Amino acid sequence: MRVLPYTILAACILLGGSTQVLFKMGMNSIGPLEKLLSLKTVTMILSNKYIIIGLVLYGVSSVLWLIGLSMLDVSLMYPLLSLAYVVTTVLAFMILNEPVRTTRWIGVLLIILGSILVGVNR
């Protein structure tokens, strides 16, 4: 087994989940938007430190994703990217103190089980 492609895939999964939490932190600090596409709204969003960091990490993740695609099958990588939902849920629970009900945890478990099935017969 080649380690580098799976390390890149793991980084994409972790960055994807982290990015979403950073975006949420940024939007929480901005508050509810009154106008979706006003110059003020766009300026507030694009000047927020959490959103800027999230966008940078999203860009890094995209570059890593392209590198990973050159090494692994997309039919393996893309389903495993769903593990970013798991990362996002765990981080939202731990960092944002979002309530996660039992049914949502069951859904997370199903994503993990599905990912295992995808990865078993690579």
Return d(Cα 68, Cα 76) in angstroms, integer: 11
Return d(Cα 61, Cα 14) in angstroms, integer: 9
Question: By C-alpha distance, which of 107, 113, 116, 115 is closest to 89?
Answer: 107
Does residue 11 contact residue 68 with C-beta atoms inside 8 Å? no
Return d(Cα 122, Cα 119) in angstroms, integer: 5
Number of domains comprising the chain: 1
Mean pLDDT of the chain: 94
Secondary structure (DSSP) of 30-82 = H-S-SSSS-HHHHHHHHT-HHHHHHHHHHHHHHHHHHHHHTTS-HHHHHHHTT
pLDDT in the model for residue 5: 94
Q: What's this model's pTM, rounded to 2 decimal places?
A: 0.89
Q: Which domain does 102 fall in, by range?
A: 3-120
pLDDT in tens, 73-107: 999 999 999 999 999 999 999 999 999 999 999 99
pLDDT in the model for residue 33: 84
